Chain A
Amino acid sequence: MTALQGPVLQGPGANPWRGLPAAGLAIVVVIAAASIAPAQGYYLNILMQAATYAIGVLGLVVVLGYCGQISIAQAAFFGLGAYAVALGTVDFHINFFVALFIGVVISGVCGLVLGLGTLRLGGHYLGMITISFQQILTLVLTNWIDFTHGPDGVRNVPRPNVFGVSLEDGRAYLGLILVAAVLVTLFVWRLKASRLGRAMQAVRDNELAASTSGINVYGTKVVAFGISAVLGAIGGGLFSGGFRYISPDQFSFGDSIVMLTMALLGGATSPFGALVGTVVLVLLPEWLRFLKQIYLAVYGASVILIMVFLPDGLWGFVDARTRKRVTTITGAVPPLPLLAQKGEATDEAVLVVADLAKHFGGLKAVDGVNLTVRRGTVHALIGPNGSGKTTFINVVTGLYEATGGKITFVGQDITTLAPHRRNRAGLARTYQNIRVFRGMTVLENVMIGAERQGNDVAHDPKAVVLRALAALDFVEMRGDAHRLVGDLSYGHQRYVEIARALASSPHTLLLDEPAAGLNLTEKVELGNLLKRLKGHGLTIMIIDHDMKLVESVADHITVLNFGKRIADGTPQDVLSHPDVIAAYLGEPRNEAA
């Protein structure tokens, strides 16, 4: 590790103190600002509203901006926090912070239950279920009059004491809210560059690739939604003390929509965007008051205009114009440990697939395939389009549940394991139609691989960066480390995908049509890269239609047709097999492909 140099340490996640000085400064500034704020009245309320909403909206940054899940119930979680504080202090005479804590727990539990119920399903289902939750909560708050005081709401919510100091004064209480907002902002900002935050973003950008890169997709989504529910409740609890009067209509569907708009308007992928969006949308109606009755109409129109003219939100607009060019990380890093190993092909069976079947309704995509992959070999799987090759890989990596049969990997039965568990056992893959995390940089993409649970460097953030750089060195892409992977060409994205897999120190690597879309010379380069990987003990399974590539790297070939194995053996035997020629190769030994 002597090669460690200054610039390398600046990689994301490397500095545990990152942001703390700025946060400390911000706390001093907000307390100073609070002390000169008006002690009561309209403007104080506006400031309190902005700060407490900001905390709730920061929750949306986590669930929507980072993790890509649409939640339309942030006002409901906000309301749970607010009602816990109001009812707890007024009706049950509990300490303010205890009541707030209860609200946070209730809200978090609701979030977890809703999340556990729907987040297994993809796409828009969370959005839908949160709408229902929001509506039901509003109805309960309005109609359960004995407990919630109904539409009349709760009055005279007290403000707390902190270390014996009463925050009854408006300015003092505003100070508390602002400090909380700064701390939550710091937390959300730090989260983004953390392992969990990267996992969330990976889930947002590509769930399948995240799962086969060792990320527990479901768990990550549930946690993100849980965090957003908790932050919502904190914001709401503080709101309750600020306004001292709450009623059900403050936490309606419309308010959830407003919070969602705040997040998107500011730029949901950044906590600072959320702050900007919140402040603007809290102030916008105030600025528009001179328009009298139609100010809300103008507000609605402004939302459309901002969406149209500022595509990445307000913060995105500012950020794009002020972002500094990130310099390339220089300095040598230790090469991939794999390359230091020596490992010839052996007879030891690494992956044993027995009678594997996958049926989609009546279609038998994989129909009783037997196959053994031996340690250190390159094993090619070929066959006509639709013969079941990709389905086979998808079943082996856990994206599809097997209809029948057994998969044994390094002695362990993995037939029913989740994809991320198989990845943690050392099974890595790439995809036919490249699956990278498009909203993240090249380095972050590869770091996801390096920090998979069970990898030797996983628990050391610095080592994760170094391992990721080493993998990028191997595919000769270090120069692009800080570029967004979505901006790269197709061929380079393919290399990022391979680097991501290699950084996870896999035991076995499955490559699904890595040469598709490459020209002949690029294919030769890919072949050379595969040859460099050979002889180090890594086991490789490759699907490709390029027979030159397959022939030049494979030790063993299996051929599928209509979901069944039609040939299996050495390249020479298989490629001259009459069935293989008839079903797949066509004219014997042609120069095609």
Chain B
Amino acid sequence: MKLLEIKGLTAGYGAGPVLKGLDITVDEGEIVTLLGSNGAGKSTTLRSLSGLVPNITGDILYRGQSIKGLKPEAIVRLGVSHVPEGRRIFPGLTVRENIMLGASNRKGLSRRVLEGEVDEMITHFGDLKRLENALGWTLSGGQLQMVAVARGLMAKPQLLLLDEPSLGLAPLIVQQVFRIVADIRSRGTTVLLVEQNANMALSVADRGYVLETGRLLVSGRPEELWNNPQVRAAYLGGSH
């Protein structure tokens, strides 16, 4: 079943469009990855989906309904949670407070239930327990990413948008992050993943789209992309 359908999406920030007529679909329960170089429009796609890009044409259907033009607050209430590039952890709040605010989209949640869910989430990401009361700005890159994902999951999303979760992380942590991504899907959440680390992204994804200067270059299953010479040369670091 189609969860998300992007039709002819054109979007940008003033100096010409970044996306030029993009079509993408994501089925329920999939991990779909967007690949491409800097400036190809991967992050802009995610930002358009969550309502951060003001002027867009084309259409975005979520569960068959258009979400184009909705405010970010409204979109996240529908169950689309965005973990943006750079993690964006609130620097002056503690890890616990950051994670707690992840549930801001859910109405009528009692404080007691919320605290319970936060405890559960913190326990789930084992490392976070000892950092619970640390302020955001004191965390290292890997820790920030864990908190960002945990915070994104507190929204109980049906669709999780993950922007470059492996950026700047050590290999060991990258492996951990991708294990978490696979785990999120196995628990029923659909994931749209933007990555520079194409190897890792394709290893967990069901399908991938390769973007080039705001347009779709090619899409397909991981092995199809692996075997596409054009994709290999441009994004996978040449032949292997």
Judged by CB atoms under 8 Å, the answer to whether A and B touch is yes
What 0/1 readout, one digit per residue, does chain B (141-174) give for beta carbons within 8 Å of chain A?
1110000000000000000000010111111111
Smallest distance from the beta carbon of B50 to chain A beta carbons, Å? 20
B237: interface (CB < 8 Å): yes
Q: Give Cα A494 to B197, complex, Å.
A: 18
What is the number of residues of chain B that contact chain A, defined by CB distance less than 8 Å? 33
Contacts of B237 in A (CB 8 A): 520-521, 523-524, 548
- A518 at interface, CB cutoff 8 A: yes
* A592 interface hit (Cβ, 8 Å): yes
Say yes or no: is A383 at the interface (Cβ < 8 Å to chain B). yes
- Specify which chain A residues have a CB less than 8 angstroms from the CB of B110 in the assembled complex: none
Contacts of B166 in A (CB 8 A): 593
Contact A521 B37 (CB under 8 A): yes
Q: A166: CB under 8 A from chain B?
A: no
| Stretch among A69-77, A337-345, A583-591 lining the B interface | A583-591
Nearest-Cβ distance from residue A586 to partner chain B, whole angstroms: 4
A207 at the interface (CB under 8 A from B): no
B77 to chain A, nearest CB (A): 31
Decide: B172 and A520 in contact? CB cutoff 8 A: no
Tell whether, in the assembled complex, residue A521 and residue B142 are in contact, meaning their CB atoms are under 8 Å apart: no
- Within B20-45, the residues touching A (CB, 8 Å) are 35-39
B166 to chain A, nearest CB (A): 8
Asked if residues A587 and B175 are in contact (CB atoms below 8 Å), the reply is: yes
| Chain A residues numbered 503-542 whose CB sits less than 8 Å from any CB in chain B | 513, 516-524
Bound together, the chains give a CA A521 to CA B171 distance in angstroms of: 19
State whether the Cβ of A547 lies closer than 8 Å to any Cβ in chain B: yes
Considering the complex, give the chain A residue whose CB is closest to the CB of B140: A386
Query: What's the Cα separation between A305 and B167 when bound, in Å?
Result: 42
**Interface Cβ pair total, 8 Å cutoff:** 96
Task: Decide yes or no: A584 and B238 within 8 Å by CB, A386-B142, A520-B198 being known contacts.
Answer: no
Question: Are A385 and B38 in contact, CB atoms less than 8 angstroms apart?
Answer: no
Q: Does A384 contact B (CB under 8 A)?
A: yes
The stretch that binds A, out of B67-75, B183-191, B214-222, B228-236, is B228-236
A590 touches B171 (CB 8 A): yes
Query: B196 near A: Cβ within 8 Å?
Result: yes
Residues of A within 8 A of B238 (CB): 521, 524
Main secondary structure of the interface of A (DSSP, over half): loop
Query: Is B65 on the interface with A (CB-CB < 8 A)?
Result: no
Chain A neighbourhood of B38, CB < 8 A = 489-491, 517-519, 522
B143 touches A386 (CB 8 A): yes
Which of A489, A523, A586: most chain B Cβ within 10 A? A586
CA distance A384 to B197 in the complex (A): 18
Decide: A545 and B200 in contact? CB cutoff 8 A.
Answer: no
Alpha-carbon gap, A547 to B236, bound state (A): 15
In the bound complex, residues from chain B placing their C-beta under 8 Å from that of A590 are 171, 175
User: Chain B residues near A516 (CB, 8 Å)?
Assistant: 167-168
Name the one of A386, A521, A587 contacting B233, with C-beta atoms under 8 angstroms. A521
Q: Which of B139, B143, B235 contacts A519 (CB 8 A)?
A: B235
B66 within 8 Å of A (CB atoms) = no
Q: A522-B37, A584-B172, A593-B174 are in contact. Are A517 and B167 (CB under 8 A)?
A: yes
B123 lies within 8 A of chain A by Cβ? no
Select from chain B the residue with minimum beta-carbon distance to A522: B37
Contact of A547 among B39, B141, B171, B200 (CB under 8 A): B171
Contact B142 A385 (CB under 8 A): yes
Check if B133 is an interface residue, CB within 8 A of chain A. no
- Of the candidates A383, A386, A592, which one forms a contact with B199 in the assembled complex, judged by CB atoms under 8 Å apart? A592
When C-beta atoms are compared, the residue in chain B nearest to A544 turns out to be B168
Task: Please measure, in the bound complex, the distance between the C-alpha atom of A437 and the C-alpha atom of B12, giving whole angstroms.
Answer: 24
Judged by a CB distance under 8 angstroms, whether A432 is at the interface is yes
User: With A489-B39, A584-B170, A592-B175 in contact, do A386 and B141 touch (Cβ < 8 Å)?
Assistant: yes
- Binary CB contact string for chain A from 565 to 593 against chain B (1 if under 8 A, 0 otherwise): 00000000000000000011111001111
Q: How far is the CB of A391 from chain B (nearest CB, A)?
A: 10
| With A489-B39, A491-B38, A521-B238 as contacts: A385 and B198 at CB distance below 8 Å | no
Assuming the contacts A520-B196, A521-B233, A522-B37, asked whether A545 and B171 have C-beta atoms less than 8 A apart, the reply is yes
Complex contacts, A523 vs chain B, CB 8 Å: 237
Decide: A385 and B235 in contact? CB cutoff 8 A.
no
State the Cβ distance, A392 to closest chain B Cβ, in Å.
14
Interface size bracket, A side: 20 to 34
Give the docked Cα–Cα distance between A487 and B15 (Å). Answer: 10
Measured in the bound complex, the distance between the Cα atoms of B170 and A545 in whole Å is 5
Nearest-neighbor residue (CB-CB) of A586 within chain B:
B172
Given contacts A521-B37, A521-B238, whether A385 and B199 have CB atoms under 8 Å apart is no
Give the shortest distance, in Å, between B34 (CB) and chain A (any CB).
12
Q: Chain A residues with Cβ under 8 A from B169's Cβ?
A: 385, 545
Determine how close the nearest CB of chain B comes to the CB of A486; give it in whole angstroms. Answer: 12
Roughly how many angstroms separate A513 CA and B167 CA in the complex, as a whole number? Answer: 10
Tell me which of B140, B141, B164, B197 contacts A593 (CB under 8 A): B197
Q: How far is B199's CA from A523's CA once the two chains are assembled, in angstroms? A: 13
**Chain B residue, CB-CB nearest to A386:** B140
CA–CA, A513 to B166, complex, Å? 13
A517 to B39, CA, bound (A): 11
Whole-angstrom distance between the alpha carbons of A232 and B235 in the complex?
A: 57
Find out whether the CB atom of A385 lies under 8 angstroms from the CB atom of B175.
Answer: no
* Contact in complex: B36, A519 (CB < 8 Å): yes
Whole-angstrom distance from the CB of B88 to the nearest CB of chain A? 13
- Asked if B174 and A384 make an inter-chain contact with CB atoms under 8 angstroms apart, the answer reads no
User: Which residues of the other chain, B, contact A587 by a CB distance below 8 angstroms?
Assistant: 175
Instruction: Give the contacts of A101-149 with B (CB-CB under 8 A).
Output: none
A524: chain B residues at CB < 8 Å are 237-238
Contacts of B198 in A (CB 8 A): 519-520
A521 contacts which chain B residues (CB < 8 A)? Answer: 37, 233-238
Give the most central of B36, B175, B197, B237: most A CB within 10 Å. B237
Q: B170 near A383 (CB under 8 angstroms)?
A: yes
A519 contacts across to B, CB distance below 8 A: 35-38, 196, 198, 235
> Would you give the shortest CB distance from B169 to chain A, in whole angstroms?
6
The answer to whether B171 touches A585 (Cβ under 8 A) is: yes
> Are A385's CB and B140's CB within 8 A?
yes
Give 1 or 0 for each of B91-124: 1 = CB within 8 Å of chain A CB. 0000000000000000000000000000000000
Q: How far is the CA of A592 from the CA of B237 in the complex (A)?
A: 13
- Complex interface: chain A residues within 8 A of B173 (CB): 384-385
- The answer to whether B233 touches A545, judged by C-beta atoms less than 8 angstroms apart, is no
Query: Which A residues lie within 8 Å of B35 (CB)?
Result: 519
- Which residues from B are CB-within-8-Å of A513? 168
Chain B, Cβ-Cβ closest to A383: B170
Which residues of A are interface residues toward B (Cβ below 8 A)? 382-386, 432, 487, 489-491, 513, 516-524, 545, 547-548, 583-587, 590-593
User: Could you give 16 example pairs across A and B, Cβ below 8 Å?
Assistant: A384-B170, A384-B172, A384-B173, A385-B140, A385-B168, A489-B39, A517-B38, A519-B35, A519-B38, A519-B198, A521-B236, A583-B172, A592-B174, A592-B197, A593-B171, A593-B197
Contacts A385-B141, A386-B139, A521-B236 supplied; 5 other A-B pairs, CB < 8 Å: A385-B142, A432-B168, A522-B37, A590-B175, A592-B175
Q: Which 8 interchain pairs have the tightest Cβ spacing?
A: A386-B140, A520-B237, A385-B142, A586-B172, A385-B141, A385-B140, A489-B39, A491-B38
